[in-house]
Amino acid sequence: MPGRFTDRRLILANLWVALLAFGVGACMAVMQAMSRADLELPFRSPKMYYMSVTAHGILMALVFTTFFIMALGYVVVDTDRGRIPWPRFAWASYGVALTGTVLTLGTVYSFKASVLYTFYPPMQAHPLFYIGLTLLIVGSWGWCAEIIAAWRGALRERPDRPVSLALHATTANAMLWVLATLGVAAEMLLQLIPWSLGLEAKIDPLLARTLFWYFGHPLVYFWVLPAYAIWYTVLPREAGGKLFSDPLGRMTFALFLVLSAPVGFHHQFMDPGIPAGWKLFHMANTMLVAFPSFVTAFTICASLEVAGRLRGGTGLFGWIRTLPWGNPTVASVLLALLLFLVGGLGGLINASYAINSAIHNTAWVQGHFHLTVGSATALTFMGTAYWLIPKLTGRALQFELLAKIQPYLWFVGMVLFAMVNHVTGLLGMPRRIFEDAYAGAPQAIPWHGWTLVSAFGGIVLFVSAMFFMLVMLGTLFAGARVPQEPIVWAESLGEPAGGYTPGVWDRLGLWFVVAVAVAAIAYGVPLWHLVHMTRYGSPGFHTF
Protein backbone atom coordinates (compact mmCIF):
# COMPACT_ATOMS: atom_id res chain seq x y z
CA MET A 1 0.00 0.00 0.00
CA PRO A 2 2.62 2.66 0.95
CA GLY A 3 3.98 3.93 -2.30
CA ARG A 4 2.24 7.21 -2.99
CA PHE A 5 5.57 8.86 -2.24
CA THR A 6 8.40 8.04 -4.64
CA ASP A 7 10.99 9.12 -2.08
CA ARG A 8 9.25 7.70 0.98
CA ARG A 9 12.36 5.97 2.37
CA LEU A 10 14.43 9.11 2.16
CA ILE A 11 11.70 11.13 3.90
CA LEU A 12 11.36 8.50 6.63
CA ALA A 13 15.14 8.32 7.09
CA ASN A 14 15.22 12.07 7.78
CA LEU A 15 12.19 11.84 10.06
CA TRP A 16 13.74 9.04 12.10
CA VAL A 17 16.80 11.14 12.92
CA ALA A 18 14.54 14.08 13.84
CA LEU A 19 12.36 11.93 16.11
CA LEU A 20 15.26 10.26 17.89
CA ALA A 21 16.95 13.63 18.45
CA PHE A 22 13.72 14.99 19.89
CA GLY A 23 13.22 12.01 22.25
CA VAL A 24 16.77 12.11 23.62
CA GLY A 25 16.76 15.94 23.78
CA ALA A 26 13.58 15.86 25.86
CA CYS A 27 15.20 13.50 28.41
CA MET A 28 18.15 15.87 28.82
CA ALA A 29 15.77 18.82 29.22
CA VAL A 30 13.83 17.48 32.19
CA MET A 31 17.06 16.79 34.09
CA GLN A 32 18.26 20.33 33.43
CA ALA A 33 15.02 21.94 34.59
CA MET A 34 15.18 19.97 37.85
CA SER A 35 18.88 20.53 38.36
CA ARG A 36 18.49 24.29 37.97
CA ALA A 37 15.82 24.29 40.69
CA ASP A 38 18.33 22.62 43.04
CA LEU A 39 16.50 19.30 43.04
CA GLU A 40 19.00 16.51 43.65
CA LEU A 41 19.42 13.94 40.87
CA PRO A 42 21.84 11.03 40.44
CA PHE A 43 25.16 12.20 38.93
CA ARG A 44 24.14 15.88 39.28
CA SER A 45 27.13 18.20 38.88
CA PRO A 46 28.02 21.37 36.94
CA LYS A 47 30.05 19.25 34.52
CA MET A 48 27.05 17.02 33.82
CA TYR A 49 24.73 20.04 33.58
CA TYR A 50 26.75 21.90 30.94
CA MET A 51 27.30 18.74 28.91
CA SER A 52 23.54 18.17 29.05
CA VAL A 53 22.63 21.76 28.09
CA THR A 54 25.00 21.50 25.11
CA ALA A 55 23.54 18.16 24.03
CA HIS A 56 19.96 19.40 24.48
CA GLY A 57 20.62 22.56 22.43
CA ILE A 58 22.34 20.65 19.63
CA LEU A 59 19.74 17.87 19.54
CA MET A 60 16.66 20.08 19.66
CA ALA A 61 17.73 23.28 17.94
CA LEU A 62 20.09 21.91 15.30
CA VAL A 63 19.37 18.21 14.69
CA PHE A 64 15.61 17.77 15.30
CA THR A 65 14.80 20.94 13.37
CA THR A 66 17.18 20.45 10.44
CA PHE A 67 16.25 16.82 9.74
CA PHE A 68 12.52 17.50 10.19
CA ILE A 69 12.74 20.48 7.83
CA MET A 70 14.61 18.38 5.27
CA ALA A 71 11.96 15.63 5.51
CA LEU A 72 9.18 18.17 5.09
CA GLY A 73 10.93 19.79 2.11
CA TYR A 74 11.16 16.42 0.40
CA VAL A 75 7.46 15.80 1.13
CA VAL A 76 6.60 19.09 -0.60
CA VAL A 77 8.76 18.32 -3.64
CA ASP A 78 7.53 14.74 -3.87
CA THR A 79 3.90 15.88 -3.62
CA ASP A 80 4.23 18.65 -6.20
CA ARG A 81 6.75 17.16 -8.63
CA GLY A 82 6.24 13.40 -8.22
CA ARG A 83 9.87 12.90 -7.16
CA ILE A 84 12.94 14.78 -6.03
CA PRO A 85 15.44 15.78 -8.74
CA TRP A 86 18.52 13.69 -7.79
CA PRO A 87 17.68 10.91 -5.29
CA ARG A 88 21.25 9.54 -5.02
CA PHE A 89 22.64 12.96 -4.31
CA ALA A 90 19.94 13.44 -1.67
CA TRP A 91 20.96 10.18 0.03
CA ALA A 92 24.62 11.21 -0.08
CA SER A 93 23.73 14.58 1.50
CA TYR A 94 21.75 12.76 4.17
CA GLY A 95 24.77 10.53 4.87
CA VAL A 96 27.06 13.57 5.22
CA ALA A 97 24.63 15.34 7.57
CA LEU A 98 24.15 12.20 9.66
CA THR A 99 27.91 11.55 9.91
CA GLY A 100 28.39 15.14 11.05
CA THR A 101 25.66 14.76 13.65
CA VAL A 102 27.21 11.59 15.06
CA LEU A 103 30.68 13.18 15.25
CA THR A 104 29.37 16.28 17.02
CA LEU A 105 27.23 14.38 19.52
CA GLY A 106 30.09 11.92 20.13
CA THR A 107 32.33 14.75 21.31
CA VAL A 108 29.56 16.25 23.44
CA TYR A 109 28.68 12.99 25.19
CA SER A 110 32.36 12.28 25.87
CA PHE A 111 32.56 15.64 27.74
CA LYS A 112 34.91 17.14 25.15
CA ALA A 113 32.61 19.87 23.90
CA SER A 114 30.55 21.49 26.68
CA VAL A 115 30.42 24.77 24.74
CA LEU A 116 26.61 25.09 24.40
CA TYR A 117 24.76 25.25 21.10
CA THR A 118 26.13 28.73 20.31
CA PHE A 119 29.74 27.43 20.72
CA TYR A 120 31.09 30.92 21.50
CA PRO A 121 34.87 31.04 21.66
CA PRO A 122 37.07 31.35 23.65
CA MET A 123 35.35 28.25 25.09
CA GLN A 124 36.99 25.55 23.03
CA ALA A 125 35.65 22.16 21.92
CA HIS A 126 37.30 19.13 20.38
CA PRO A 127 37.96 19.71 16.61
CA LEU A 128 35.51 16.93 15.70
CA PHE A 129 32.71 18.96 17.29
CA TYR A 130 33.24 21.77 14.77
CA ILE A 131 34.01 19.42 11.88
CA GLY A 132 30.81 17.48 12.63
CA LEU A 133 28.67 20.62 12.64
CA THR A 134 30.28 21.72 9.39
CA LEU A 135 29.34 18.38 7.82
CA LEU A 136 25.77 18.76 9.08
CA ILE A 137 25.59 22.05 7.23
CA VAL A 138 27.28 20.70 4.09
CA GLY A 139 24.66 17.90 4.07
CA SER A 140 21.87 20.46 4.37
CA TRP A 141 23.30 22.35 1.36
CA GLY A 142 22.60 19.19 -0.68
CA TRP A 143 18.98 19.49 0.44
CA CYS A 144 18.94 23.16 -0.64
CA ALA A 145 20.23 22.17 -4.08
CA GLU A 146 17.42 19.60 -4.42
CA ILE A 147 14.73 22.08 -3.43
CA ILE A 148 15.99 24.87 -5.67
CA ALA A 149 16.37 22.46 -8.61
CA ALA A 150 12.80 21.20 -8.08
CA TRP A 151 11.52 24.78 -7.98
CA ARG A 152 13.37 25.66 -11.20
CA GLY A 153 12.01 22.49 -12.83
CA ALA A 154 8.45 23.50 -11.89
CA LEU A 155 8.98 27.01 -13.31
CA ARG A 156 10.39 25.65 -16.56
CA GLU A 157 7.49 23.24 -16.98
CA ARG A 158 4.69 25.77 -16.33
CA PRO A 159 6.08 29.31 -16.79
CA ASP A 160 2.53 30.69 -16.88
CA ARG A 161 1.63 29.30 -13.42
CA PRO A 162 3.15 30.03 -10.01
CA VAL A 163 4.48 27.01 -8.11
CA SER A 164 2.37 25.85 -5.15
CA LEU A 165 2.57 28.06 -2.07
CA ALA A 166 4.16 25.11 -0.22
CA LEU A 167 6.99 24.88 -2.78
CA HIS A 168 7.36 28.68 -2.84
CA ALA A 169 7.78 28.72 0.96
CA THR A 170 10.20 25.79 0.98
CA THR A 171 12.33 27.35 -1.77
CA ALA A 172 12.47 30.72 0.00
CA ASN A 173 13.66 28.86 3.11
CA ALA A 174 16.32 26.92 1.18
CA MET A 175 17.64 30.17 -0.35
CA LEU A 176 17.62 31.84 3.06
CA TRP A 177 19.60 28.90 4.44
CA VAL A 178 22.25 29.11 1.71
CA LEU A 179 22.75 32.81 2.43
CA ALA A 180 22.76 32.38 6.23
CA THR A 181 25.12 29.43 6.44
CA LEU A 182 27.89 31.34 4.62
CA GLY A 183 28.51 33.12 7.96
CA VAL A 184 28.89 30.01 10.05
CA ALA A 185 30.91 28.29 7.31
CA ALA A 186 33.38 31.21 7.43
CA GLU A 187 33.50 31.03 11.23
CA MET A 188 34.16 27.28 11.14
CA LEU A 189 36.70 27.20 8.31
CA LEU A 190 38.62 30.41 9.01
CA GLN A 191 38.49 30.48 12.78
CA LEU A 192 37.16 27.58 14.87
CA ILE A 193 38.57 24.55 13.05
CA PRO A 194 42.17 25.88 12.59
CA TRP A 195 42.18 27.14 16.19
CA SER A 196 40.84 23.90 17.68
CA LEU A 197 43.41 21.92 15.67
CA GLY A 198 46.17 24.10 17.15
CA LEU A 199 47.05 25.68 13.77
CA GLU A 200 46.17 29.09 15.26
CA ALA A 201 47.11 29.90 18.86
CA LYS A 202 44.45 32.58 19.39
CA ILE A 203 40.97 33.45 18.20
CA ASP A 204 39.08 36.72 17.92
CA PRO A 205 35.85 36.09 19.90
CA LEU A 206 34.09 39.22 18.65
CA LEU A 207 34.63 38.37 14.98
CA ALA A 208 33.46 34.81 15.70
CA ARG A 209 30.31 36.05 17.46
CA THR A 210 29.59 38.41 14.57
CA LEU A 211 29.90 35.65 11.98
CA PHE A 212 27.82 33.39 14.21
CA TRP A 213 24.96 35.90 14.54
CA TYR A 214 25.06 36.72 10.83
CA PHE A 215 23.99 33.06 10.61
CA GLY A 216 22.14 32.82 13.93
CA HIS A 217 19.17 35.04 13.28
CA PRO A 218 18.24 33.73 9.83
CA LEU A 219 18.68 30.34 11.52
CA VAL A 220 15.61 31.10 13.65
CA TYR A 221 13.61 31.84 10.51
CA PHE A 222 14.93 28.66 8.92
CA TRP A 223 13.30 26.91 11.91
CA VAL A 224 10.04 28.80 11.82
CA LEU A 225 9.31 29.19 8.08
CA PRO A 226 8.37 25.52 7.61
CA ALA A 227 5.92 26.01 10.50
CA TYR A 228 4.55 29.09 8.73
CA ALA A 229 4.25 26.97 5.57
CA ILE A 230 2.12 24.46 7.51
CA TRP A 231 -0.03 27.29 8.89
CA TYR A 232 -0.67 28.57 5.36
CA THR A 233 -0.96 25.36 3.38
CA VAL A 234 -2.22 22.66 5.78
CA LEU A 235 -3.99 24.27 8.74
CA PRO A 236 -6.85 26.00 6.84
CA ARG A 237 -7.91 22.74 5.19
CA GLU A 238 -7.49 20.62 8.34
CA ALA A 239 -9.57 23.19 10.24
CA GLY A 240 -12.32 22.84 7.62
CA GLY A 241 -11.86 26.07 5.67
CA LYS A 242 -9.73 27.85 3.10
CA LEU A 243 -6.62 30.01 3.16
CA PHE A 244 -7.70 33.65 3.35
CA SER A 245 -5.08 34.90 0.87
CA ASP A 246 -2.53 33.02 -1.20
CA PRO A 247 -0.76 36.22 -2.47
CA LEU A 248 -0.20 37.45 1.10
CA GLY A 249 1.51 34.12 1.82
CA ARG A 250 3.82 34.53 -1.18
CA MET A 251 4.72 38.03 -0.10
CA THR A 252 5.43 36.83 3.45
CA PHE A 253 7.98 34.22 2.41
CA ALA A 254 9.72 36.53 -0.08
CA LEU A 255 10.01 39.24 2.59
CA PHE A 256 11.55 36.79 5.05
CA LEU A 257 14.13 35.89 2.42
CA VAL A 258 15.10 39.55 2.02
CA LEU A 259 14.94 40.69 5.65
CA SER A 260 16.19 37.77 7.75
CA ALA A 261 19.94 38.37 7.52
CA PRO A 262 20.54 42.11 8.14
CA VAL A 263 19.36 41.92 11.78
CA GLY A 264 22.00 39.83 13.60
CA PHE A 265 23.38 42.68 15.73
CA HIS A 266 20.21 42.56 17.85
CA HIS A 267 21.94 39.58 19.49
CA GLN A 268 25.04 41.73 20.02
CA PHE A 269 23.59 44.98 21.36
CA MET A 270 25.67 44.47 24.51
CA ASP A 271 28.89 43.54 22.66
CA PRO A 272 31.66 46.16 22.48
CA GLY A 273 33.45 46.95 19.20
CA ILE A 274 30.35 47.32 16.98
CA PRO A 275 29.42 50.96 16.28
CA ALA A 276 26.07 52.02 17.78
CA GLY A 277 24.85 53.26 14.35
CA TRP A 278 25.07 49.76 12.89
CA LYS A 279 23.28 48.32 15.91
CA LEU A 280 20.48 50.85 15.35
CA PHE A 281 20.33 49.92 11.66
CA HIS A 282 19.93 46.25 12.57
CA MET A 283 17.28 47.17 15.15
CA ALA A 284 15.26 49.00 12.49
CA ASN A 285 15.55 45.99 10.15
CA THR A 286 14.37 43.74 12.99
CA MET A 287 11.21 45.79 13.33
CA LEU A 288 10.74 45.43 9.55
CA VAL A 289 11.11 41.66 9.64
CA ALA A 290 8.26 41.52 12.17
CA PHE A 291 5.95 42.82 9.41
CA PRO A 292 5.56 39.46 7.58
CA SER A 293 4.77 37.87 10.95
CA PHE A 294 2.01 40.41 11.57
CA VAL A 295 0.68 39.70 8.06
CA THR A 296 0.76 36.01 8.95
CA ALA A 297 -1.10 36.60 12.22
CA PHE A 298 -3.82 38.41 10.24
CA THR A 299 -4.01 35.89 7.37
CA ILE A 300 -4.06 32.82 9.58
CA CYS A 301 -6.61 34.33 11.96
CA ALA A 302 -8.83 35.23 9.00
CA SER A 303 -8.45 31.70 7.57
CA LEU A 304 -9.41 30.22 10.94
CA GLU A 305 -12.43 32.48 11.12
CA VAL A 306 -13.50 31.23 7.68
CA ALA A 307 -13.12 27.64 8.90
CA GLY A 308 -14.93 28.27 12.18
CA ARG A 309 -17.86 29.98 10.44
CA LEU A 310 -18.10 27.21 7.81
CA ARG A 311 -18.36 24.81 10.75
CA GLY A 312 -21.34 26.73 12.10
CA GLY A 313 -19.66 29.25 14.40
CA THR A 314 -21.56 32.52 14.82
CA GLY A 315 -21.11 35.80 16.65
CA LEU A 316 -17.91 37.72 17.23
CA PHE A 317 -15.90 34.85 18.72
CA GLY A 318 -18.23 31.84 18.31
CA TRP A 319 -16.12 30.61 15.38
CA ILE A 320 -13.20 29.90 17.74
CA ARG A 321 -15.26 27.37 19.69
CA THR A 322 -16.30 25.48 16.55
CA LEU A 323 -12.74 24.90 15.35
CA PRO A 324 -11.79 21.19 15.60
CA TRP A 325 -9.89 21.43 18.91
CA GLY A 326 -10.03 17.62 19.26
CA ASN A 327 -8.00 17.05 16.08
CA PRO A 328 -4.37 16.62 17.27
CA THR A 329 -2.93 18.40 14.21
CA VAL A 330 -5.23 21.40 14.48
CA ALA A 331 -4.91 21.61 18.29
CA SER A 332 -1.10 21.47 18.11
CA VAL A 333 -0.99 24.27 15.57
CA LEU A 334 -3.57 26.48 17.31
CA LEU A 335 -1.76 26.16 20.62
CA ALA A 336 1.58 26.78 18.90
CA LEU A 337 0.10 29.98 17.42
CA LEU A 338 -1.14 31.16 20.80
CA LEU A 339 2.26 30.57 22.42
CA PHE A 340 3.98 32.27 19.49
CA LEU A 341 1.84 35.34 19.91
CA VAL A 342 3.52 35.89 23.30
CA GLY A 343 6.97 34.70 22.19
CA GLY A 344 6.93 36.89 19.08
CA LEU A 345 5.87 40.01 20.94
CA GLY A 346 8.61 39.21 23.47
CA GLY A 347 11.02 39.17 20.51
CA LEU A 348 10.09 42.78 19.75
CA ILE A 349 10.92 43.66 23.36
CA ASN A 350 14.30 41.93 22.99
CA ALA A 351 14.92 43.88 19.81
CA SER A 352 14.46 47.28 21.45
CA TYR A 353 18.03 48.44 21.84
CA ALA A 354 17.67 50.01 25.30
CA ILE A 355 15.33 47.41 26.83
CA ASN A 356 17.62 44.63 25.63
CA SER A 357 20.10 45.59 28.35
CA ALA A 358 17.53 44.55 30.97
CA ILE A 359 16.90 41.08 29.57
CA HIS A 360 20.10 40.12 27.72
CA ASN A 361 21.70 36.94 29.08
CA THR A 362 18.89 36.47 31.60
CA ALA A 363 16.41 33.61 31.90
CA TRP A 364 13.99 35.80 29.89
CA VAL A 365 15.87 34.80 26.72
CA GLN A 366 15.38 31.09 27.29
CA GLY A 367 11.69 31.88 27.96
CA HIS A 368 11.55 33.66 24.59
CA PHE A 369 13.09 30.87 22.60
CA HIS A 370 11.01 28.14 24.18
CA LEU A 371 7.89 29.99 23.03
CA THR A 372 9.31 30.43 19.53
CA VAL A 373 11.45 27.51 18.42
CA GLY A 374 10.21 25.32 21.31
CA SER A 375 6.55 26.01 20.57
CA ALA A 376 5.83 27.76 17.26
CA THR A 377 8.24 25.39 15.53
CA ALA A 378 8.37 22.24 17.68
CA LEU A 379 4.64 22.01 18.48
CA THR A 380 3.72 22.73 14.86
CA PHE A 381 6.12 19.97 13.79
CA MET A 382 4.45 17.55 16.23
CA GLY A 383 1.05 18.44 14.77
CA THR A 384 2.55 18.01 11.30
CA ALA A 385 3.83 14.55 12.23
CA TYR A 386 0.29 13.49 13.28
CA TRP A 387 -0.95 14.62 9.87
CA LEU A 388 1.95 13.34 7.81
CA ILE A 389 2.96 9.93 9.20
CA PRO A 390 -0.33 8.15 8.33
CA LYS A 391 -0.16 9.59 4.80
CA LEU A 392 3.45 8.56 4.46
CA THR A 393 3.22 5.06 5.90
CA GLY A 394 -0.40 4.04 5.33
CA ARG A 395 -0.70 3.35 9.08
CA ALA A 396 -3.35 4.81 11.40
CA LEU A 397 -2.19 6.88 14.37
CA GLN A 398 -1.72 4.67 17.40
CA PHE A 399 -2.71 5.82 20.90
CA GLU A 400 -5.01 8.48 19.51
CA LEU A 401 -6.09 9.62 22.96
CA LEU A 402 -2.47 10.40 23.87
CA ALA A 403 -2.17 12.34 20.61
CA LYS A 404 -5.24 14.40 21.55
CA ILE A 405 -3.96 15.20 25.05
CA GLN A 406 -0.32 15.79 24.12
CA PRO A 407 -0.59 19.31 22.58
CA TYR A 408 -2.53 20.56 25.63
CA LEU A 409 0.11 19.18 27.98
CA TRP A 410 2.77 20.94 25.90
CA PHE A 411 0.82 24.18 26.15
CA VAL A 412 0.41 23.94 29.95
CA GLY A 413 4.05 22.86 30.40
CA MET A 414 5.27 25.72 28.25
CA VAL A 415 3.17 28.30 30.08
CA LEU A 416 4.64 27.11 33.39
CA PHE A 417 8.17 26.80 32.03
CA ALA A 418 8.66 29.63 29.58
CA MET A 419 6.39 32.32 31.05
CA VAL A 420 8.06 31.76 34.42
CA ASN A 421 11.48 32.09 32.80
CA HIS A 422 10.39 35.54 31.65
CA VAL A 423 9.60 36.45 35.27
CA THR A 424 12.87 35.13 36.70
CA GLY A 425 14.70 36.90 33.88
CA LEU A 426 13.15 40.18 34.97
CA LEU A 427 14.22 39.36 38.54
CA GLY A 428 17.77 39.25 37.21
CA MET A 429 18.37 35.51 37.04
CA PRO A 430 21.04 34.76 34.41
CA ARG A 431 20.37 32.13 31.76
CA ARG A 432 22.43 28.91 31.63
CA ILE A 433 23.05 28.53 35.37
CA PHE A 434 23.53 25.21 37.10
CA GLU A 435 21.66 26.06 40.32
CA ASP A 436 19.37 28.91 41.25
CA ALA A 437 20.93 29.43 44.71
CA TYR A 438 23.76 31.17 42.83
CA ALA A 439 26.35 30.30 45.49
CA GLY A 440 24.12 31.74 48.24
CA ALA A 441 23.84 35.27 46.76
CA PRO A 442 20.98 37.16 48.53
CA GLN A 443 19.70 38.46 45.16
CA ALA A 444 18.98 34.85 44.21
CA ILE A 445 16.53 34.14 47.04
CA PRO A 446 13.38 35.28 45.14
CA TRP A 447 14.32 33.12 42.16
CA HIS A 448 13.88 29.79 43.91
CA GLY A 449 10.07 29.57 44.15
CA TRP A 450 9.69 30.54 40.49
CA THR A 451 12.36 28.10 39.37
CA LEU A 452 10.51 25.29 41.13
CA VAL A 453 7.41 26.20 39.09
CA SER A 454 9.47 26.16 35.89
CA ALA A 455 10.90 22.75 36.88
CA PHE A 456 7.32 21.49 37.26
CA GLY A 457 6.61 22.91 33.78
CA GLY A 458 9.66 20.98 32.56
CA ILE A 459 8.20 17.75 33.93
CA VAL A 460 4.85 18.39 32.21
CA LEU A 461 6.71 19.08 28.95
CA PHE A 462 8.63 15.84 29.37
CA VAL A 463 5.40 13.85 29.81
CA SER A 464 4.01 15.54 26.69
CA ALA A 465 7.18 14.73 24.72
CA MET A 466 6.99 11.07 25.79
CA PHE A 467 3.32 10.89 24.74
CA PHE A 468 4.38 12.21 21.33
CA MET A 469 7.18 9.66 21.07
CA LEU A 470 4.82 6.82 22.07
CA VAL A 471 2.33 7.84 19.39
CA MET A 472 5.07 8.10 16.77
CA LEU A 473 6.81 4.83 17.60
CA GLY A 474 3.48 3.02 18.03
CA THR A 475 2.30 4.28 14.64
CA LEU A 476 5.53 3.56 12.81
CA PHE A 477 5.88 0.03 14.21
CA ALA A 478 2.34 -1.16 14.90
CA GLY A 479 -0.22 1.21 13.35
CA ALA A 480 -3.11 -0.60 11.66
CA ARG A 481 -3.00 -0.46 7.86
CA VAL A 482 -5.37 2.17 6.44
CA PRO A 483 -6.01 3.53 2.94
CA GLN A 484 -3.32 6.07 2.21
CA GLU A 485 -4.70 9.56 1.70
CA PRO A 486 -2.91 11.91 -0.70
CA ILE A 487 -1.58 15.26 0.43
CA VAL A 488 -3.77 18.12 -0.76
CA TRP A 489 -2.76 21.70 0.04
CA ALA A 490 -5.36 24.15 1.33
CA GLU A 491 -7.33 26.00 -1.34
CA SER A 492 -7.33 29.75 -1.15
CA LEU A 493 -10.30 32.09 -1.09
CA GLY A 494 -10.84 34.23 -4.15
CA GLU A 495 -8.56 32.29 -6.49
CA PRO A 496 -9.37 33.40 -10.09
CA ALA A 497 -11.16 30.80 -12.23
CA GLY A 498 -8.11 30.05 -14.38
CA GLY A 499 -5.74 30.07 -11.39
CA TYR A 500 -3.20 32.72 -10.43
CA THR A 501 -0.57 34.07 -12.79
CA PRO A 502 2.96 34.58 -11.40
CA GLY A 503 3.39 37.94 -9.66
CA VAL A 504 6.34 39.91 -8.36
CA TRP A 505 6.53 37.94 -5.06
CA ASP A 506 6.96 34.73 -7.06
CA ARG A 507 10.31 35.96 -8.39
CA LEU A 508 12.40 34.32 -5.69
CA GLY A 509 15.57 34.51 -7.84
CA LEU A 510 15.24 38.30 -7.84
CA TRP A 511 14.52 38.41 -4.09
CA PHE A 512 17.57 36.26 -3.44
CA VAL A 513 19.74 38.83 -5.24
CA VAL A 514 18.13 41.62 -3.20
CA ALA A 515 18.76 39.60 -0.02
CA VAL A 516 22.45 39.22 -0.88
CA ALA A 517 22.73 42.97 -1.50
CA VAL A 518 20.96 43.90 1.75
CA ALA A 519 23.12 41.47 3.77
CA ALA A 520 26.27 42.89 2.12
CA ILE A 521 25.26 46.44 3.14
CA ALA A 522 24.35 45.45 6.69
CA TYR A 523 27.52 43.45 7.30
CA GLY A 524 30.14 44.68 4.81
CA VAL A 525 31.29 47.81 6.64
CA PRO A 526 31.07 46.47 10.23
CA LEU A 527 33.01 43.34 9.24
CA TRP A 528 35.64 45.47 7.49
CA HIS A 529 36.01 47.47 10.75
CA LEU A 530 36.30 44.34 12.85
CA VAL A 531 38.94 42.78 10.65
CA HIS A 532 41.03 45.97 10.53
CA MET A 533 40.91 47.11 14.14
CA THR A 534 43.64 46.14 16.60
CA ARG A 535 42.81 42.69 17.84
CA TYR A 536 44.44 40.69 20.60
CA GLY A 537 42.78 37.31 20.38
CA SER A 538 42.32 34.74 23.07
CA PRO A 539 43.63 31.23 23.71
CA GLY A 540 41.05 28.47 24.15
CA PHE A 541 39.42 27.64 27.50
CA HIS A 542 38.15 24.23 28.51
CA THR A 543 35.71 25.06 31.26
CA PHE A 544 34.55 21.54 32.14
Residues engaged in binding ligand HAS (CB under 6 A): 118, 220, 223-224, 266-267, 286, 289-290, 293-294, 296-297, 300-301, 304, 320, 334, 337-338, 340-341, 344-345, 347-348, 350-351, 356, 360, 365, 368-369, 372-373, 376-377
Output the smallest distance, CB 220 to ligand HAS, in A. Answer: 4
Residue nearest to ligand HAS (CB): 344
Q: Are 266 and 354 in contact (CB under 8 A)?
A: no
Secondary structure letter of residue 352 according to DSSP: S
- Does 309 qualify as catalytic in the annotation? no
Instruction: Return all residues near 482 (Cβ < 8 A) that are at least 6 apart.
Output: 390, 394, 395, 396
Catalytic residue among 369, 381, 399, 467: 369
369 labelled catalytic: yes
Is 523 tagged catalytic?
Answer: no
Q: Count other C-beta atoms under 10 Å from residue 401's C-beta.
A: 10
Of the residues 50, 129, 212, 221, only one is catalytic, namely 221
> Which ranges of 58-164 does DSSP label H, i.e. alpha helix?
65-81, 87-109, 127-157
Output 304-307 pairs: Cβ under 8 A, ≥24 positions apart.
Answer: 304/235, 304/236, 304/239, 304/241, 304/334, 306/236, 306/241, 306/242, 306/244, 306/493, 307/236, 307/239, 307/240, 307/241, 307/242
Q: What whole-number distance in Å separates Cα of residue 334 and Cα of residue 330? A: 6
Contacts of 51 (CB under 8 A, 6+ apart): 108, 109, 111, 114, 544
Minimum CB distance to ligand HAS smaller for 122 or for 347: 347
* CB 243 within 8 Å of CB 236: yes
Q: To the nearest whole angstrom, how small is the minimum distance from the Cβ of residue 292 to ligand HAS?
A: 9
Smallest gap from residue 403 Cβ to ligand HAS (A) = 19
Is 431 designated active site?
yes
| Shortest distance, position 223 Cβ to ligand HAS, whole Å | 4
Residue nearer to ligand HAS on the CB measure, 296 or 327: 296
CB of 148 vs ligand HAS, minimal distance in Å:
22
Contacts of 347 (CB under 8 A, 6+ apart): 290, 368, 372
CB atoms under 10 Å from CB of 459, counted, come to 15
Q: How far is the CB of 183 from ligand HAS (least distance, A)?
A: 15
* Size of the chain, expressed as the number of residues it contains: 544
User: Exposed, middle or buried by CB within 10 Å (0-12, 13-18, 19+), for 473?
Assistant: middle
Query: Shortest distance, CB of residue 359 to ligand HAS, whole angstroms?
Result: 6
End-to-end CA distance of the chain: 52
DSSP class of 122:
T
Known active-site residue 432:
yes
* CA nearest to 381, candidates 6, 3, 5, 21: 21
CA 461 to chain centre: 18
Of residues 56, 209, 360, 368, which has the active-site annotation? 368
Q: State yes or no: is 353 an active-site residue.
A: no
Has 130 been annotated as catalytic?
A: no
Strands (E), 11-65: none
Q: Smallest distance from the beta carbon of 300 to ligand HAS, in angstroms?
A: 4
- Count Cα neighbours of 105 within 13 Å in the Cβ-side half-sphere: 21
By annotation, the residues acting in catalysis are: 217, 221, 368-370, 431-432
